[in-house]
Amino acid sequence: METIYPVLHPPNAGFPFTVTIPKDQKASKEIGSADTSVTKIYCNRSGLNAKAGAASVITRLGHVINVSHYHLGTLTKYTTFDAKAVGVSLALQQLLHAVNPGRTTICLNNQAVLLALHQHVPKTGQFVMTKIHKLINDAYRKHLQLGEDFGLDVRWITGHTGVKWNEMADVEVKEASGGKVSGDVLLPLFLCAGQQLPISVGAECQKLEKECKMMWREQ
């Protein structure tokens, strides 16, 4: 079971990255078309057949570098929020090992995860969010120390809008929900060597709520 700590991020500390949430689908497409980032990473999650998976596709100047997959387990133990957060961690691991990625955009279609990235308050899914912040700090430290022109924006993108690599992530994530897991070299350290995520408090709450409703109906 995951542990939820009182403070996720010091309230007086800023964030080195930006989060962009366009106001609607049209704005999302316009911002996407104007995005000149050297590196773009598209991540997604799937709950196909009640099993949670995450995948991430990293591209550089329009060419795919690699694809990462991770199978979390059943949706009785993890939420779709957990799966999407794991997808972001896969993207950041790819970014950490990228060669001179330059200005980078990570694209995902889950606003709840985007909003959580800049929150200072504790909530479910905190285990993965804490790992995400560490990966971001590691990426900034590595690429800036090398003197690279590096920056990161995490942006909301609408699903199924015809963006080639986003559609590719949609396909790849179904393999992850079916059980596909990438080799350790493509995974964040906390997912390596067959390690399992702590069971989500959010998933347990959802499970308990369903059980209570069933008991209520039976009585």
The CATH number of whichever domain residue 64 belongs to comes to 3.30.420.10
8 within a domain of the structure (yes/no): no
Residue 1 above 70 pLDDT?
no
5 within a domain of the structure (yes/no): no
181 within a domain of the structure (yes/no): yes
205 within a domain of the structure (yes/no): yes
Q: Give the chain's domain count.
A: 1
Higher-confidence residue: 157 or 160? 157
Q: Express each pLDDT in 37-72 by its tens digit.
A: 999 999 999 988 989 999 999 999 999 999 999 999
Q: Which residue range forms the structural domain that includes residue 214? A: 18-218
Tokens, residue 42: 């598209």
38 within a domain of the structure (yes/no): yes
CB 28 within 8 A of CB 156: yes
61 within a domain of the structure (yes/no): yes
209 within a domain of the structure (yes/no): yes
Per-residue confidence (pLDDT) for residue 160, from 0 to 100: 63
12 within a domain of the structure (yes/no): no
Candidate ranges 5-9, 43-47, 88-92, 128-132; pick with highest mean pLDDT: 88-92
